[in-house]
Amino acid sequence: MAFYGAVAFAVLQAVDLLVPVLGLSDSVTRGVALLLLLGAPVAMFLEWVFEFTPGGLRRTTEPTPGELSAILKAPASKRWPSGLLALGGMTIFLAGAWYVGRQSVTVTGTPAGPGAIEGSLPSIAVLPFVNMSSDPEQEFFSDGISEELLNLLAKIPELRVAARTSSFSFKDKNVEIPQIAERLKVAHILQGSVQKVGKQVRITAQLIRAEDGYQVWSERWDRTLDDIFVIQDEIAVDVAEQLAVRLLPDAPRVRETDPEAYALYLRARHLGLRRTAESLEQSNALLERVLADEPGYAAAWAGLAANYSSQAKNGLGPIEGGFALARAAANRALEIDPEDGLAHAVLGGIAQDYDNDLASAARHFERALELEPGNPDIINDAAVLARYLDRLDEAVALQELAINRDPLTPTGHARLGINYLWAGRLDDAIASLRTALSLSPAFIGAHYNIGMALLMKGDPEAALLAFQKEEGDEEYLIKGEALAFHALGRQAEFEEAFEELKTNWGEQWPSEVAHVYAWIGDADAAFEWLDRAVAQNEDGLTQQFPQPFFAPIRDDPRWQRFREQTGTSAAQLSTIRFKVSVLG
């Protein structure tokens, strides 16, 4: 067995070295390890039955009388070496099998917490490339190239890429590479510059090792705009090679289109990411120009869908008409390219927020994550859906993973805070929401949700102070004040604030009024307003049942009826398939 263990260990090490060189799957390594493990008892049996003699391999002879007693009576110095040798050989073999298995396992699931470094995967951040053009207006092009490279690298399963929000937060800031890497929890930084003059393009790129600032690789391209897609593909492949990341089965590639249309698309996306009423309208106009010339450009259709959806969700356009336009554009994108992850994510959001159809939302988000498992925006969306499916542990885990990939986004920390709030982890909720505020002091809803956590902790005075800091959303401010005034016994102020809530927002959002009635224990009035919400099919009805406001009325028989009406009873939610597996 000592000989078998040593040979098996050597075979495992050879396979582990050759598999990446030959571009073979990790399953080959695991298969060889399994065969060798299965072979161990066979080797043991053969060693028992046969023995090597000066005359060759022969069947083991029956022991002679007294032979076993003689062995047992022999000094330990003569008995132990062979036993220790066999034990050592098998130990080496099993240790090798364990090591190789650990090396070849694809890590899935979530890390320990928002600050953890996902050490199982090579990691990189793509900083915004510097605009070297004389025209400052060309900055959209350099930013767009950077983001396209980021998205391209994010499609490599074995590479963890910091999200755009976090990477671009260092734009125009004098921060050293090691500090950036530490904050983004990555081991490498890709930076560069873009100079565009007419159709001539010069792109430089450098890959920096964060721990010592060493330049691992650099390259320069002087091409025309027609070659822009080839350049991006080459950079992605070169970076992956430098990081020893396998590109299986094929390296990700940029989807090519007309270069001039591509430049317009980058400008449109640059505007759309600002998420203001004016920038979204300007982005839509540019995307419509692109599609007039290139009607088969799937990415432009998906971008248009995302813009329309954003306008409808944020009150920057008509709700019904906006979602209808978003749905049509997303479906058009999928007709052209069925593997467009953004289009599936947009349709998932519409199904969840507007259609009140969680089953359809689950199908779209599940597919979006299959196509883009490293996209933190889609992981964020999946976390929100898991919360609405009453899978709070899964929602928290997904949100923590999203934050690991995008650690400097206030939205991610705020959403994690809401997950903690709904799960009853009040101190964790307050901590996450305060992190969101440290990143964005005016973040809408953060003070309001801190107030809710404090109210649930039994501190209405602190809750009132938090609610009154909520300046981004007047409805949150008024509703929060009403809740705190009631808890403090300030009845006149409560009634005034509550009446203002009903007058200004009750018609459009009856569930908001129901929240207050439920919280103060008026079950009849709460269900009356919930019935109104059901009758008008209020947006987001499927998102109501986990709300902490309803804790005082959940034992009422009418609560189960409400959940069944909205398709969110435990039995109904259990039928919705939503299984995601994302790289950790």
- Closest by Cα among 254, 340, 360 to 332: 340
Q: Where are the domains of the chain?
A: 2-104, 123-255, 259-372
Task: Please report the pLDDT score of residue 165 as a whole number.
Answer: 82
Is residue 530 within 8 Å of 560, Cβ to Cβ?
no
The fold for domain 259-372 equals 1.25.40
User: What's the pLDDT at 376?
Assistant: 84
What is the pLDDT at residue 469? Answer: 95
Q: Give Cβ neighbours of residue 22 (< 8 Å, ≥ 6 apart).
A: none
Q: Residues 218, 222, 225, CA angle at the centre, nearest 5°?
A: 120
- Is the domain defined by 123-255 classed in CATH 3.40.50.10070? yes
**DSSP per position, 423-463:** TT-HHHHHHHHHHHHHH-TT-TTHHHHHHHHHHHTT-HHHH
Q: Is 58 helix (H, G, I), strand (E, B) or coil?
A: strand
Scan for tokens 């125009």, then name that residue: 172
Evaluate the omega torsion of the peptide bond into residue 249 and state whether it is cis, within 30 degrees of 0.
yes
Amino acid 536: pLDDT: 92
pLDDT at 326: 95
* Cis amide leading into 376 (omega within 30): no
Single pTM value for the model? 0.69
Q: Which residues of 67-87 are buried (b: 16+ CB within 10 A; e: fewer)?
A: eeeeeeeeeeeeeeeeeeebe
Token digits for 173? 């800031």
Name every residue whose Cβ is closer than 8 Å to that of residue 128 and which is 6 or more positions away in sequence.
142, 143, 146, 167, 168, 170, 171
Please state, in angstroms and rounded to a whole number, the distance separating the CA atoms of residues 408 and 404. Answer: 9
CB 303 within 8 A of CB 272: yes
The total of other beta-carbon atoms located within 10 Å of residue 461's CB is 10
> Which two structure tokens, joined as six digits, stand for 162?
């910091």
pLDDT at 111: 38
d(CA 419, CA 548): 11
CA distance 565 to 569: 8
Phi first, then psi, for residue 105 (nearest 5°) are: -75, 135
Which residue bears the tokens 């951040």? Answer: 125
> Do residues 569 and 560 touch, judged by C-beta distance below 8 A?
yes
Phi/psi region, residue 424 (left: phi>0; alpha: psi -120 to 50; beta: rest), is: left
Count the Cβ atoms, other than its own, within 10 Å of residue 554.
11
What pLDDT does 569 receive? 93
Q: Which residues of the chain fall below pLDDT 70?
A: 1-120, 137, 246-254, 581-584
Q: Which pair of tokens denotes residue 174? A: 């004098």
The reported pLDDT for the residue numbered 234 is 81
- 455-495 confidence digits (pLDDT tens): 999 999 999 999 999 987 899 999 999 999 999 999 999 99
- Between CA 248 and CA 277 the distance in angstroms is 42
pLDDT value for 81 = 54
Residue 102's pLDDT is: 37
> What is the chain's Cα-based Rg?
30
Q: DSSP letter for 576, please.
A: -
Q: Three-class SS of residue 123?
A: strand
DSSP state of 331: H
- Reduced to 3 states (helix: H, G, I; strand: E, B; else coil), residue 269 is helix
